[in-house]
Chain A
Amino acid sequence: MIDLKSVKKTYLRGAEEVRALKGIDLSIARGEFVAIMGPSGSGKTTMMHMIGCLDTPSSGEITIDGTAVSTLQEPQLVEMRKRKIGFVFQQFYLIPGLSVIDNIALPLLFSRDKKDKAHIQSLMELVGLKHAAKRKPNQLSGGEMQRVAIARALVNNPKLILADEPTGNLDSENSDLIYSLFSDLHRHGLTIIMVTHNTELASRAERMVRLKDGQVVSG
């Protein structure tokens, strides 16, 4: 499903050259649930952005679902994000003026797909928010907001879910709930890559990959 070969990423921070990734080789099979761990600055978020087609490597190759994405231009990268990848962020990033149902349906605005009400209803049911369809984000708890964000990530039927610290802003009860949701999705065959600092949650994943100083040190 995902192949990274000698992926390097270098960028400038002011005058300083930062080598965020120093030659990553990693393969993730279809349907795997992978937790990525590592200290701050280890390159896990940068790697996540590369896999999520938000950024391209300075060198090396990335293949996602048979497509070599490292050489794609912006429109093709957008298409990949639209069709194959679902993002879940630590900060949820729900749009305050939109209801739960409209937040979930937001990616359909960009994919120009018709709003399939039954599909959205089933997603709301999946994340346990069927009762809150008309609520605005400010009427939801942190856990509920993250569940909306997960439903939003699923609305385009992606093959891959990328979650960047999805439980970072949640208490342990809600963290468990979110993790259970990812487990359910994993059981349904989705490939899940989750960046986390939470060792306990990471240990429950199918596979744990550790990064340090821009390199894979285990997994």
Chain B
Amino acid sequence: MPFLIFAFRNLLRHSVRSILTLIGIAASIGVLFSILSFNKGFEKGIAQELEQTGIHFMVVPSGCPHEVASLVLHGAIIPKYLSVDVVGKIRRLDDVELASPILVAQLPNPAKNRIDLIYGMDLQYAKQMKPSWVIDGSVPVRDDEIIVGSEIAGHDRLKTGDTVFYPDLKRSFRITGILQKTGGQDDAFIYMPVKTAQALFNKPDGATAIGVRVARPERLSAVTEELSAQVPGIQIVTMGQVLSSLMSLAASAKVMGVSLAIIAIFVSAMGVMNAILMAIFERAQEIGMMRAVGASRLDIFRIILKETILLTTAGGCAGVLLATLGSKGIEHLLRKSMPYVPSGSVVIFDPLLAVLCVGFSVLLGFLAGAFPAWKATRISPIEAIKG
């Protein structure tokens, strides 16, 4: 009978206590694993979504850069508008390949009992601004034509040639193209020419933002500097800034989340230490007997430490497993509670992360078990077997 099996059988003797302790570890390691998995998925999702945009920077009204990041990534509604005159000024700059006004707005759809997200843009630049797009059909040429994102098309079973009617506006739009699944927020929009959107939302001269692509990316900072000097009251946000802004938000959230998880882990480790110490006091005579029949202090240390490590490792594995099984639920919860979550699966199972979390629970077992194990080695066999 190896030490490990002996330790395992000792744990089984107090199965309820062992299971309760294990649950504590499983919960805290599960939380840690979920936070780290989410963070990894979140960062990957943001990077992926930014990769899918073909623009180098956004021009927006002065305000919070996080709002801009939100706008870029999931079409937030910002109640400030730029004049489209700015577009002309941008287009006149050297090295600007294209500048497209964007108007993002919400449109009630009583027939479907929801709010549709409308994305007005210069659709002739669709290829340049959204290079990853694959459209089944064609790009609208008339002001009553639209492209529909795959999510909406799938939900409403829409196909090219169908008509969408908005009773409040008493207007119909013909679908000329269905956007194939991008895995990003683009799937949830209805795209129409910016002129149509401006007329529809009574902003004939307004744009939520202007997406700009430069001919030579190495000239990006020169272009943005020139633009800032020429047009006051605007804010320029490069995709790199958006990325770093979102990443720093994610990093702050990660620090907070991991800190809470570490506190939970500390509390559960104290629970493990307490449970093992209790078991040692209860088994003092047994430990005395083992010393008498030939166990060294190191043998006793090993037995107790292995019991603790078994407990925390099993807890760690259970935590990772439960967090993985519950990842869909966690993701659903996060999407409901967080202002922005990239599309696609953001709670990613990363085997390396799983191994690291289980490895951490092994280390935890060592740290939580070292003191009780040392304490057990100090039990005098004479005192113990005297009772």
Residues of A within 8 A of B (CB): 45, 49, 52, 54-55, 74-75, 78, 81-83, 86-87, 89, 91, 93, 95-98, 102, 105-111, 115, 152-153, 156, 164
Contact = CB atoms under 8 A, between A and B. Distances in A.
A81 B293 contact: yes
Number of chain B interface residues as a range: 20 to 34
B12 interface: yes
A81 B291 CA distance: 9
Contacts of B2: 109
Contact of B1 (A81, A93, A102, A156): A102
Q: Among B286, B293, B295, B296, find the residue whose CB has the most chain A CB atoms closer than 10 A.
A: B293
Nearest to B297: A74
B294 A54 contact: no
B89 interface: no
Contacts, number: 74
Contact of A49 (B297, B299, B382): B382
Nearest to A80: B294
B6 interface: yes
B47 interface: no
A91 B384 CA distance: 11
B10 interface: yes
Q: Among B10, B285, B292, B294, find the residue whose CB has the most chain A CB atoms closer than 10 A.
A: B294
B10 A97 contact: yes
Name the 6 nearest CB pairs between A and B, nearest first: A82-B294, A93-B289, A97-B13, A110-B294, A107-B293, A110-B295
B87 to A, nearest CB: 79
A202 B382 CA distance: 24
Contacts of B385: 89, 91, 93, 164
13 contacts: A49-B382, A74-B297, A81-B291, A81-B292, A82-B293, A97-B10, A98-B6, A102-B9, A105-B1, A106-B1, A110-B293, A110-B294, A111-B294
Interface string B357-387: 0000000000000000000000001100111
A98 B10 CA distance: 9
Contacts of A102: 1, 9
B285 A109 contact: no
A98 B289 CA distance: 15
A97 B381 CA distance: 21
B223 interface: no
Given A54-B292, A107-B293, 13 more contacts: A45-B386, A81-B291, A87-B293, A91-B285, A93-B385, A97-B13, A106-B290, A107-B294, A108-B1, A109-B2, A109-B299, A110-B293, A152-B293
A117 B136 CA distance: 75
B294 A78 contact: yes
B3 interface: yes
Contacts of B381: 54
Contacts of A87: 289, 292-293
